[in-house]
Amino acid sequence: MQKTLWSTLLVGACVLTAGAALAETTLTVSSYGGGYQEAQDKAYFAPFAAAHPEITIRQDSPSSNAKLKAMVESGAVDWDIMVTDDSFGLDSDAEWLEPIDYTIVNRDKFIPGTAGTYRIASDIEATVLAYNAAEFSTAPQGYKDFFDLEKFPGMRAVWKYAPSGIFETALLADGVPADKLYPLDVERALKKLDTIKDHIVWWDTGAQSEQLLDSGEASMGLVWVGRAVSGAEQGIKIDWTQWTSQTGFWVVPKGTKNREAAMKALEFFTEPAQQIAFTQYMPYGPSNKTAVAGVSETFKGNLPTDHLDNRVLMDADWWAKNGADVDMRFQEWLLE
């Protein structure tokens, strides 16, 4: 009887030990919520948890650069991984971030320019020239047509945000080569924008941009690719002649207690199978260059990575240094 009792206790102890091992690490990942985070869960988080039963993923939202900074500065870091945009994760943000551990994450797999010291790309997004096909007998081709009110009449929907790509768009339409954009000639860009200023309707949210095109209030717009794609049933089309880059990035807050597990997760999230799975749910391209050719058919043709040769790369470092001054001038121009 004693032997049976000890055997029972031993089995119970093994079960408890195994259970403890399964729950020994919890990674908290913060993202943007909504359909975007749901897609990440299906493509990244759930498969990672299945492959690594010793790690539990807890999700949070929304992501916030300011909240991450506050966590680090207070020494109370609750997040292990966060999704951010082009404006954060630069070398100038080093005090808040862990360097990406490239002994765990394979740096060579990324599309050039998407793997930095403190961030790696989660997906490739875009601001695109979208138009209401019912408004024109011929399709616009490039930013020059965006500014051609005679050939392509109507209102233009534009994001009311200085680093939205509108300055780059204006300069490209005015003949500046893409590789000569920076430093931006702000006054030249505003002079070009003056030519369509009375025909601009500004938007502040993605939903507004889509509604402006769907309703016909704007015949053409510079909008996020996800919004352009979702308007396809209403006759909204995309001109991929030129587009400005928008990128989602993974960062790891400085001081996380789960640094190694976070790096393993980032390596997993950016592998081809996971990146391809993500394109089933969202019209954003993979950051893994070997995944580009294998994307899902769901949005193929309207993924930014289907048109990399026409991408206009925005200089996030330049904007980080000059954005405040440019925005001040932009706000002045809006009131002129």
Summarised one tens digit per residue, pLDDT across range 234-262 is 899 999 999 999 999 999 999 999 999 99
> In this structure, are 134 and 197 located in the same domain?
yes
> In this structure, are 118 and 259 located in the same domain?
yes
Q: Is residue 50 part of a domain?
A: yes
The sign of the torsion formed by the CA atoms of 181, 184, 188, 189 equals: positive
- 81 has a pLDDT exceeding 50: yes
- Residue 19: per-residue pLDDT: 43
- Residue 5: per-residue pLDDT: 38
- Residue 75 pLDDT class (50, 70, 90 cuts): very high
> In this structure, are 315 and 178 located in the same domain?
yes
> In this structure, are 180 and 138 located in the same domain?
yes
Amino acid at 140: P
For 222, the enclosing helix (H) or strand (E) is strand 220-224
- 8 has a pLDDT exceeding 60: no
What is the average pLDDT across 266-289? 98
> In this structure, are 216 and 324 located in the same domain?
yes
> In this structure, are 97 and 171 located in the same domain?
no
Question: Does residue 304 have a cis bond before it (omega within 30 degrees)?
Answer: no
What is the average pLDDT across 181-200? 98
> In this structure, are 258 and 284 located in the same domain?
yes
Number of folded domains that form the chain = 2
Task: Please compute, for residue 277, the number of CA atoms within 13 A of its CA located in the half-sphere on the CB side.
Answer: 18
- Residue 23 pLDDT class (50, 70, 90 cuts): low
What CATH number does residue 292 fall under?
3.40.190.10
- Residue 315 pLDDT class (50, 70, 90 cuts): very high
The sign of the torsion formed by the CA atoms of 35, 124, 221, 204 equals: positive
Q: Is residue 46 part of a domain?
A: yes
Parallel, antiparallel, or unpaired for β 220-224 and 120-132? antiparallel
Q: What is the DSSP string of 122-149?
A: EEEEEEEEEEEGGG-SS---SHHHHT-T
- Residue 124: per-residue pLDDT: 98
Q: Is residue 4 part of a domain?
A: no
> In this structure, are 141 and 270 located in the same domain?
no
DSSP structure class, residue 37: H
Q: Is residue 6 part of a domain?
A: no
> In this structure, are 28 and 99 located in the same domain?
yes
Provide the token pair at 332: 């002045």
- 308 has a pLDDT exceeding 70: yes
What is the average pLDDT across 95-123? 98
> In this structure, are 225 and 317 located in the same domain?
yes
> In this structure, are 181 and 57 located in the same domain?
no
- Is the separation of the CB atoms in 86 and 312 below 8 Å? no
Inter-CA distances, 162 with 101, 124, 186, 309, Å:
33, 20, 11, 25
Q: Is residue 258 part of a domain?
A: yes
Q: What is the DSSP string of 157-218?
A: EEES-GGGTHHHHHHHHTT--GGG--S--HHHHHHHHHTTGGGEEEESSHHHHHHHHHHTS-
Mean pLDDT score of the chain? 93
> In this structure, are 169 and 222 located in the same domain?
yes
- Residues 31 and 296: their CA atoms lie apart, in Å, by 23
- Is the separation of the CB atoms in 251 and 266 below 8 Å? no
Query: Rounded to two decimals, what is the model's pTM?
Result: 0.90
Q: Is residue 13 part of a domain?
A: no
Number of H-type helices and E-type strands within the chain: 12, 9
What is the average pLDDT across 12-16? 41
- 76 has a pLDDT exceeding 50: yes
- Residue 324: per-residue pLDDT: 97
What is the average pLDDT across 312-318? 96
Give the domain extent around 81.
23-124+248-305
Task: Please identify which residue in the block is written with the tokens 């001038």.
Answer: 329
Q: Is residue 283 part of a domain?
A: yes
Q: Is residue 1 part of a domain?
A: no
Amino acid at 143: Y
